[in-house]
């Protein structure tokens, strides 16, 4: 079951109305960024643990996902950058924030840390960061004329069958250890693909954003404390991607979780909380 209820509120960043889940506590604040097609709910297991530890934290629905307003036409990453910059500014009242991102959220996290405009960031945890290698499954599903998942999304099926199939697929893709799977949370994560039209539109967006991420130059200029996390059972982003990011960021730390999948915050929330709290307790800021 989903952990005890975490408070929610509506907020606006760069004119984008959104929903955020939050935990009040001691600072600095940990800002949590979800992956593609996920809402902030993917952080509920982590937020519950932060609540128990009285650690200030916030997870926000990014533009176009969850309960946030739709993204504007055109490239998504610049919109995400502007959005995150304002989120950081809003939540840095207790000092520089710690950013923890998963997948697409990890891409934004690393981009914020590499920004030529120095942002109040204490350190980052980037999990399953794409851009330097995808698994064969993703290449088969989203690359070239085949684009297997796009074709499958167009296949008609009874609503109950489609929902069941979507739940099984999402559970398989995001978890590494199915014994930790939370069926209620999986249903929240899979809800965007429960009908054929939504599934087709979401997969079309996935192709566009994947192409956008792949076209970005290699990250450079990250000087804040950086922990790179990868689930060895990640079925979406190849381990080589996190290894490449580790090599590109001096003094970074690479942590490979043997039993985690693409969303380590679901398989190993205790480990992610520990890594984030190490950064909240460390020396703030980035190197010159």
The answer to whether residue 105 sits within a structural domain is yes
Q: What is the pLDDT of residue 177?
A: 85
Q: How many CB atoms lie within 10 A of CB 105?
A: 31
CB contact at 8 A, 231 and 176: yes
Structure tokens at 238: 């190849």
Q: Is residue 157 part of a domain?
A: no
pTM for this prediction: 0.90
Q: Residue 100 sits in which domain range?
A: 8-133+218-281
Whether 222 is in a domain gets the answer yes
Task: Tell whether 277 is covered by a domain.
Answer: yes
User: Do residues 129 and 107 touch, judged by C-beta distance below 8 A?
Assistant: yes
Domain at 268, CATH number:
3.40.50.1820
Residue ranges for the chain with pLDDT beneath 50: 1-3, 145-148, 151-155, 158, 288
pLDDT for position 96: 96
pLDDT for residue 155? 47
Using the 8-state DSSP alphabet, how is residue 25 labeled? -
> Do the domain assignments include residue 193?
no
- Cα→Cα distances 61→25, 97, 165, 207, 224, Å: 21, 17, 25, 20, 25
**DSSP assignment letter at 219:** P
**What is residue 27's predicted lDDT score, i.e. its pLDDT?**
83
CB-count exposure of residue 150 (10 Å: 0-12, 13-18, 19+): middle
Place of tokens 């929902």: 163
Asked whether residue 180 is assigned to any structural domain, the reply reads: no
Is residue 226 one of the residues assigned to a domain?
Answer: yes
Are the C-beta atoms of residues 43 and 185 closer than 8 Å to each other?
no
The partner residues of 21 in beta bridges, in order of sequence, read: 8, 59
pLDDT at 99 (0 to 100): 98
How far apart are the C-alpha atoms of 57 and 276, rounded to whole Å?
10
In a domain, 200, yes or no: no
pLDDT at 191: 72
* Region at 201 (left for phi over 0; alpha for psi -120 to 50; beta for the rest): alpha
pLDDT for the residue numbered 152: 47
Contacts of 172 (CB under 8 A, 6+ apart): 235
Listed in order, strand segments (DSSP E) in the chain are 8-13, 16-23, 26-33, 55-60, 97-102, 121-127, 226-231, 253-257
Count of domains in the chain? Answer: 1
Q: Give the burial class of 254: count Cβ atoms within 10 A of its Cβ; 0-12 exposed, 13-18 middle, 19 or more buried.
A: middle
The 8-class DSSP code of residue 68 comes to S
| Residue 143 in tokens | 């690359």
């Amino acid at each position: 079951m989903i952990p005890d209820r975490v408070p929610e509120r509506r907020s606006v960043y760069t004119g984008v109305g959104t929903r955020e889940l939050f935990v009040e506590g001691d600072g600095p604040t940990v800002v949590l960024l979800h992956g593609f097609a996920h809402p902030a709910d993917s952080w509920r297991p982590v937020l519950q643990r932060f609540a128990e530890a009285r650690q200030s934290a916030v997870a926000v629905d990014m533009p176009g996902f969850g309960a946030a307003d739709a993204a504007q036409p055109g490239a998504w990453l610049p919109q995400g950058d502007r959005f995150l910059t304002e989120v950081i500014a809003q939540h840095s009242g207790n000092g520089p924030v710690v950013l923890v991102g998963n997948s697409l959220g990890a891409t934004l996290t690393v981009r914020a840390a590499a920004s030529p405009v120095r942002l109040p960031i204490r350190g980052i945890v980037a999990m399953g960061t794409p851009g330097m290698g995808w698994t064969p499954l993703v290449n088969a599903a989203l690359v070239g004329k085949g684009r297997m998942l796009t074709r499958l999304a167009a296949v008609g099926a009874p609503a109950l069958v489609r929902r069941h199939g979507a739940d099984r697929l999402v559970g398989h893709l995001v978890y590494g250890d199915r014994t930790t799977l939370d069926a209620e949370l999986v249903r929240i994560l899979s809800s965007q693909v429960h009908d054929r039209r939504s599934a087709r539109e979401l997969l079309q967006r996935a192709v566009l954003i994947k192409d956008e991420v792949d076209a970005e130059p290699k990250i450079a200029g990250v000087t804040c404390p950086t922990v790179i996390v990868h689930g060895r059972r990640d079925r979406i982003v190849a381990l080589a991607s996190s290894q490449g990011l580790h090599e590109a960021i001096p003094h970074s730390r690479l942590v490979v979780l043997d039993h985690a999948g693409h969303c380590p915050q679901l398989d190993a929330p205790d480990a992610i909380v520990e890594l984030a709290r190490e950064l909240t307790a460390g020396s703030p800021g980035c190197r010159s």
